[in-house]
Amino acid sequence: TQLLEQSPQFLSIQEGENLTVYCNSSSVFSSLQWYRQEPGEGPVLLVTVVTGGEVKKLKRLTFQFGDARKDSSLHITAAQPGDTGLYLCAGDNFGNEKLTFGTGTRLTIIP
Amino acid sequence: DVKVTQSSRYLVKRTGEKVFLECVQDMDHENMFWYRQDPGLGLRLIYFSYDVKMKEKGDIPEGYSVSREKKERFSLILESASTNQTSMYLCASTMGDRDHQPQHFGDGTRLSIL
């Protein structure tokens, strides 16, 4: 069974600070997706990274896929209270329709 | 926009009861999924369906079954509910036959087994 470990599991920081969340595996994935889940709702896709070494930016969020396609990171600049939520990474297993989800990082931004 | 609707937001049942969780999607997606979500464990796949009447076991199928009689509807069945099945259950759907498809999720059913 493939595993995706996320770190940290919990993170609580002040508004305006920067942070990085990590998603690591010993397995290779064809792509990596990042989702955010807010209380009472299902996860919503933020971004998909496909190519090893790829960097994608979504406003203050920067996503990177590792060169070997085994890991990914999410960096948030100048965090806002609206960034609060559960962040999940998910690996695509070379088109077999199923995703392997990470363990999740619960982020709280304190105003 | 894709809409995935789960029939109940909260459900309380007793040990030994047969429990049905329903999920409907409105975008003619081929693939549908059932997950359970527990703190620190992320989302774990229970069952997956890639077509009507077709199903495939996920990582934790024990104690569960599924039914997909129509393309838009995917049901999760707890044959005899137990307290260790208390959890958040999430349904999702995707189009088939395309790479890197995002999963579209419902808002979840929080199930408590007493």
Task: Assess B16–A contact: CB distance below 8 Å, yes or no.
Answer: no
Give B-chain residues touching A63 at CB under 8 angstroms: none
Each residue of A16-54: pLDDT tens digit? 999 999 999 999 999 999 999 998 899 999 999 999 999
Question: Is the pLDDT confidence value at B1 over 80?
Answer: no
Beta carbons within 8 Å of A108's beta carbon, 6+ residues apart: A10, A11, A12, A13, A84
Question: Is the pLDDT confidence value at A83 over 70?
Answer: yes
Number of helices (H) and strands (E) in chain A: give both, helices first: 0, 11
How big is chain B, counted in residues?
114
Give B-chain residues touching A30 at CB under 8 angstroms: 99-100
Each residue of B5-58: pLDDT tens digit? 999 999 999 999 999 999 999 989 999 999 999 988 889 999 999 999 999 999
Q: Could you tell me which chain A residue has the CA closest to the CA of B108?
A: A42
Question: Is the model more confident about A72 or about B101?
Answer: A72
Q: How confident is the model at residue A97 (pLDDT cuts 50, 70, 90)?
A: confident
Give the model's pLDDT for residue B11.
Answer: 96
Q: How confident is the model at residue A95 (pLDDT cuts 50, 70, 90)?
A: low
A-B C-beta contacts closer than 8 Å: 60
Give the model's pLDDT for residue B2.
Answer: 67
What does the mean pLDDT of chain B come to?
Answer: 93
Beta carbons within 8 Å of B62's beta carbon, 6+ residues apart: none
Smallest CA–CA distance, residue B68 to chain A, in Å, is 17
Dist CA B104 CA A51 (whole Å): 23
